[in-house]
A and B are shown apart, each in its own frame.
Chain A
Amino acid sequence: EPEVTQTPSHQVTQMGQEVILRCVPISNHLYFYWYRQILGQKVEFLVSFYNNEISEKSEIFDDQFSVERPDGSNFTLKIRSTKLEDSAMYFCASSVRQVENTGELFFGEGSRLTVL
């Protein structure tokens, strides 16, 4: 069964360092998303991406964050200068159609980021 894969599963970094989280969405999907979940809190929307550009971004997704689809398969989230409060589980998701048509997003297993 096709699945969204994320790497790394866990990354520890020092405050101020750059981090890149990688995702391989399901191959025929066209819409891509990043969400994050701080431990014990709700799953929060960061950004949606379609046709090689950002469709929507939340207030959390400030200038320190960027996304890219560098080739036909990968979708990356970069945090330029990490802060302690960036520590969270980051989930990549994809969908074949726009989410309002089905509500069905396929999530990866997440990348846990720990900022020291």
Chain B
Amino acid sequence: EDQVTQSPEALRLQEGESSSLNCSYTVSGLRGLFWYRQDPGKGPEFLFTLYSAGEEKEKERLKATLTKKESFLHITAPKPEDSATYLCAVLNQAGTALIFGKGTTLSVSS
């Protein structure tokens, strides 16, 4: 059973059109929710760590938020260079590895 579910699978935006990506999780006793960015043919690149409900983190046009059931990645006034796949992850039971969702592929056109 998937521990991390991301929606939508794909999202197309016009430059400047703000939106949000969703990550819902089913793990009990969440010990961290992590966001990564993956460009085509590249490895994932770390963006944010969120540990508790109500926490928010920001980086340029991205803001990540966390509730008790889900996390959102808000993208404000996106640019074409924000086009990528955004991955959400949680820790495995032992806390020794990240378990990734399938990701949301964002395309921003000018």
A residues with CB within 8 A of B: 4, 33, 41-45, 48, 55-56, 58, 91, 93, 98-100, 102-110
What 6 A-B pairs come out closest when comparing CB atoms? A107-B43, A100-B95, A103-B49, A103-B34, A56-B96, A42-B102
Nearest CB in chain A to that of B51: its residue? A103
Contact B97 A110 (CB under 8 A): no
Q: A100-B32, A103-B46 are in contact. Are A43 and B94 (CB under 8 A)?
A: no
A55-B96, A99-B97, A103-B34 given; A41·B43 CB < 8 A: no
Q: Is B54 an interface residue (CB 8 A)?
A: no
Count B-side interface residues using an 8 Å CB cutoff.
25
Q: Which residues of B contact A58 (CB under 8 A)?
A: 97
Residues of B within 8 A of A4 (CB): 43
Note all chain B residues with C-beta closer than 8 A to A109. 41-43
Contact B43–A45 (Cβ < 8 Å):
no
Q: Is B45 an interface residue (CB 8 A)?
A: yes
Q: A45-B97, A48-B97, A110-B41 are in contact. Are A56 and B92 (CB under 8 A)?
A: yes
Let me know if B78 is at the binding interface, CB within 8 A.
Answer: no
Contact A55 B94 (CB under 8 A): yes
Q: Which B residues are CB-close (under 8 A) to A56?
A: 92, 94, 96-97
Contacts A99-B97, A103-B34; A45 near B92 (Cβ below 8 A): yes
Which of B34, B45, B46, B94 is most buried by chain A, counting CB atoms within 10 A of its CB? B46
